[in-house]
Structure 1
Amino acid sequence: MVLGATGTTGGRVAARLLAAGHEVKAASRRATPAEGARAVRFDWYEPATFADALDGADSIYLVAPVGALDPAPVMLPFLRQARAAGVRRAVLLSSSAIPAGGPAMGQVHEALPGLFGEWAVLRPSWFMQNFTGDHAHARSIREEGLLLSATEDGRVGFVDADDIAAVAVHALTGDRAPNTDLVLTGPQTLSYDDIAALVTEVTGRQVTHRRLTFARLRDRLAAEVPPDFAELLAGMDRAIAEGAEDRTTDTVQRVTGRPPRGFRALAERELSGRL
Structure 2
Amino acid sequence: MTTTGTALVIGATGTTGSRTAAQLTAAGHRVKAASRQATPVVGTEPVRFDWHDPSTHAAALDGVHHVYLIPPVGDSEPAAIMLPFLRQARTAGVRRAVLLSSSAIPEGGPAVGTVHQALPGLFEQWAVLRPSWFMQNFTGTHAHARSIRDERIIWTATGTGRVGFVDADDIAAVAVRALTDEQAPNADLVLTGPEALSHDDVAAVITEVTGRPVVHRSLSYEQLRDRLTAHVPVEFAAMLAGMDRAIAHGAEDRITDTVQRLTDRPPRTFRALLERELGCSN
Q: TM-score, normalised by structure 2?
A: 0.96
8 Å Cα contact 1:27-1:53 kept in structure 2:
yes
Q: Indicate conservation of the 8 Å contact 1:6/1:31, yes or no.
A: no
Aligned residue type for 1:36: G
Written as runs of structure 1 = structure 2, the 5 A alignment for 1:204-215 is 204-215=211-222
Match of 1:254 in 2: 261
The aligned residue for residue 159 of structure 1 is 166
**Which of 194, 198, 201 is 1:191 aligned to?**
198
* In 2: Cα distance, 1:197 partner to 1:238 partner: 21
* Alignment partner, residue 147 of structure 1: 154
AA aligned opposite 2:54: P
Which structure 1 segments of 5+ residues have no match? none
Using the alignment, how far apart are the partners of 2:131 and 2:231 within structure 1?
24
Q: Is the 8 A contact 1:9 1:161 kept in 2?
A: yes
C-alpha distance in 2 between matches for 1:177 and 1:197: 39
Match in the other structure for 1:55: 62
1:11, 1:33 within 8 Å by CA — same for their partners in 2? no
Q: Which residue number in structure 1 is paired with residue 43 of structure 2? A: 36
Residue 38 of structure 2 aligns to which amino acid in structure 1? A
1:16 aligns with 2:23: yes
Counterpart check, 1:70 vs 2:77: yes
Secondary structure in 1 aligned to 2:50?
Answer: coil
Which of 77, 90, 95 is residue 83 of structure 1 equivalent to? 90
The amino acid that maps onto 1:154 is G
**CA offsets 1:211-236 (integer angstroms, 9 cap, x no match):** 11111111111122211111111111
What is the aligned length? 275
* C-alpha contact (below 8 Å) 1:93/1:122 kept by paired residues: yes
The secondary structure found in structure 2 opposite 1:58 is strand
Tell me which residue corresponds to 1:222. 229
- In 2: Cα distance, 1:15 partner to 1:106 partner: 27
What are the superposed Cα offsets for residues 177-232 of structure 1, whole Å, 9 maximum, x if unpaired?
00011000000000000000000000000001011111111111112221111111
Deviations 1:49-78 (A, max 9, x none): 011000000000000001000000100000
Instruction: Report the equivalent of 1:201.
Output: 208
Q: 1:241 aligns with which of 217, 242, 248?
A: 248
**CA-to-partner distance for each residue in 1:13-59, whole Å, 9 max, x for gaps?**
00000001111000010222421100000001111101100000000
2 CA distance for matches of 1:195 and 1:40? Answer: 38
Question: Percent identity among equivalent residues?
Answer: 71
* Structure 1 CA distance for aligned equivalents of residues 280 and 95 of structure 2: 45
Q: Name the structure 2 match of 1:98.
A: 105
Please tell me whether the aligned partners of residues 95 and 123 of structure 1 are also in contact (alpha carbons under 8 angstroms). Answer: yes
Partner Cα distance (2:186, 2:71) in 1: 19
Aligned 8 A contact 1:131 1:137 in 2: yes
Q: Which one of the candidate residues 129, 139, 144 is aligned to 1:132?
A: 139
2: distance between equivalents of 1:170 and 1:43? 26
CA RMSD of aligned residues (A): 0.7
User: In structure 2, what is the Cα distance between the partners aligned to 1:136 and 1:21?
Assistant: 35
Tell me how far apart the structure 2 counterparts of residues 127 and 37 of structure 1 sit (CA, whole Å): 25
Normalising by structure 1, we get a TM-score of 0.99
Read off the aligned partner of 1:200 and give its amino acid letter.
T
Task: State how far apart, in whole Å, the 2-side matches of 1:267 and 1:211 are.
Answer: 23
Question: How many angstroms apart in 2 are the aligned matches of 1:273 and 1:199?
Answer: 13
Structure 1 runs, 4 residues or longer, greater than 6 Å off: none
